[in-house]
Structure 1
Amino acid sequence: MTVSRSSSAPSTTPPSTTTTGPVALTFAGATGTVTGSAFVMEHAGRRVVVDCGLYQGERQWRRRNWQPLPFAATSVNDLVLTHAHLDHCGRIPLLTREGYTGPVWCTEGTRRLGAVVLRDSAHLQEEYAESARIGGFSKHDPPQPLYRAADAEDAIRLMRPVDYDTAHPLECGGTLRLTRAGHILGSACALVELGEARVLFSGDLGRATHPLLLPRQPPPAARTVVLESTYGDRSHPVSEQPHAAMAATIRDAVAR
């Protein structure tokens, strides 16, 4: 399997039409920053995208949302969504606007939360464009939203729920298996088998224990693992009295 990172000048070249050869894995987002997750697997002229998230944070990262997608939307056969946070799903309406009509595979929990998140995101995009029009702080006349409510609705209609821990066939000819990630409701790790590749995408992982969510499952065997590492360089302190710690944090915030 070949692995690459998308260039700063994304290409929309159609996928290879060869029927043999290695699987290509491209990091098309979340490179140099922790938002904008997007990964592309390609084999035998078929493409599957795992997550297509919004860039968030500083302006230099948010501007990436306006760059062309690093792959042609019409060349994608499947889209897999690990969970409903905006930095993993927020650019899916851009895909549908550019012509993607395939399935968005996710859990039922992600489908329901994703609908809320994408509708809210589209509303905020339209609201920001209107504020820019009134305030005159856009170089565009009139200012345009990144995407509109109709684009979000198109994306929501493509969401197809998949049960946890079941092998599900993909349009690209591969197989998908989702396992609990314990991050938020509906979150999953995604095992994608395509060609000779068996790649596990962790998505975002939750803690081993959670008062509301079932614990994350042991991951299935994989030949390649794409692992989120947002907090990989630190340990979060565990309070023996979490309610007291929360109360202290609230009092400190109010005092400011």
Structure 2
Amino acid sequence: MSSAQTAPLEGRVALVVGGAGRLGREICRILADRGAIVAVGYRGSEDAARALAAEIDGLAVRIDVNDDDAIDRAFARVEAERGSVTVVVDTAHVESHPRAVADLDREFLGEHLAAVQGFAAVARRALPGMRDAGWGRFVYVSGALMSRPYAGFSAYGAAKAAATTLTRYLAAEEGRAGVTANIVAPGRVFDPADELDETRRELSDMLLARTALGEFPTAAQIAATVADLTTSSHLTGQTVWITGGEPIIA
């Protein structure tokens, strides 16, 4: 087997926003396994990010997507220490508490939509280096709630839908520069250690009954799909649903 097959991302520098989270950690590990130099982007989990970076011979870098200066500092550090970023995976999201549309206020909705602006700001900063390289990969981690409504999660779903649409436009506008942009949309991510409140337990039970496979995907399985999209040369503007076979009306 050739080195290109065993390490398809050899020499590529990848930034994983939200890299210290449960799914982010698995994404960082599999990108490193495929040869990438990984920057673990974190905002509040510095110890976890540094431990993971040491494990995968990567770099822990603080990045606040709501602050353009902080984004620039993060990229500048990665560029100075590891090279130009040509892979961006965004797993960041706002921890949502159920709230009906009738009870939404500007502040609550704005906190969720800020993540969309953050993804756009990260993309804006990454694109010049990708264009110069003639190669770039974006993967945005969305969620099934953007297309499968469940009462109380309108702000989260609206933000994910907006960022998903932005990613598709990114694909349309940057493809001729060698840049692809795709979306991974998980449903429920299986973790036996999860402690769910009543609303999330009801949602989980309902979703499990709808799955074709009878089980939810794990974080490692979702991460593998993310990694596959970073190595594909022909997929762009696509949404990959990872739900265990739950039917989604997109």
Task: Verify same fold: TM over 0.5.
Answer: no
TM-score of the two chains, using structure 1 as the length reference: 0.29
Higher relative contact order (CA 8 A, sep 6+): 2
Q: Which is richer in helix?
A: 2
